[in-house]
Amino acid sequence: LTFIGELEGDRFSRRINSEYAIEKNINVIDTSHGSSYPVSEWALGLILVGLRSAGYHFRKLIENKHWEPNNEKEDFLHQNEELTGKKIGLIGFGYIAKKLCEYLEPFKTKISVYDPYISKNMLKKLNYSQVELNNIFSNNDVIVCLAPLTPATKNMINKNHFNLLRDGAVFINVSRGKIVNSDDLINALKTKKITACLDVFDPEPIPVNSEIRNLHNVFLSPHIAGTTKKSRTRFFEE
């Protein structure tokens, strides 16, 4: 054996003994980047969906509840915010985050990053702020979780962070559901004036009786961010 090509489009550390492969001079190719393009596109889409409370509006329409887009008496969920000029906090600064930042450039957003493994000099050159995790939640309009799932990041985001969110804040997760404490997220969505757009959740698939399915300040997609026709072939190309 001389070559292993990982085609799951995810970090291979849980499936392949890379240390043993190095010892035996076996080349191991990680194709995680193959899905970073569609995931970053979907992250941008969810940011726009969240800022416009599109999930809330769609639920109202299919429930035949109302058609009053300019009703000032609506509750806090009836917000229509623009992305231009917003403060965006990124948790993790890998392939997906870098591509997302390219897509955000025309919107003139102010970006801050939490990633303890990234060079401060690199972020400084990009004119991004490097901050602690608490600051990501307390100082931004939109928070995007892009970190990989590792023993260090499992349940990393919890009620202490959600309590820091300002009214109208949008939380996006396109990485892994287990990074977030699901009970804490649900409780925050029930008690705070925030919105969540989630492509991932813990557990998956989301149980039919889960409260997250019925909350109007939530937009859900079934872990499809990285699943496109092009991403399938891109893994082989890499």
Say if CB 158 and CB 134 are below 8 A apart.
no
Dist CA 84 CA 105 (whole Å): 10
Closest to 13 measured CA to CA, from 30, 37, 33? 30
Residue 223 annotated in active site: yes
**Token digits of residue 174:** 């396109």
Say if CB 170 and CB 47 are below 8 A apart.
yes
Buried/exposed code over 189-206 (b: 16+ C-beta within 10 A; e: otherwise): beebebbbbbbbbbeeeb
Q: Among the options 33, 57, 66, 223, which is catalytic?
A: 223
Q: What are phi and psi of 175, to 5 degrees?
A: -105, -90
Return the active site residues.
223
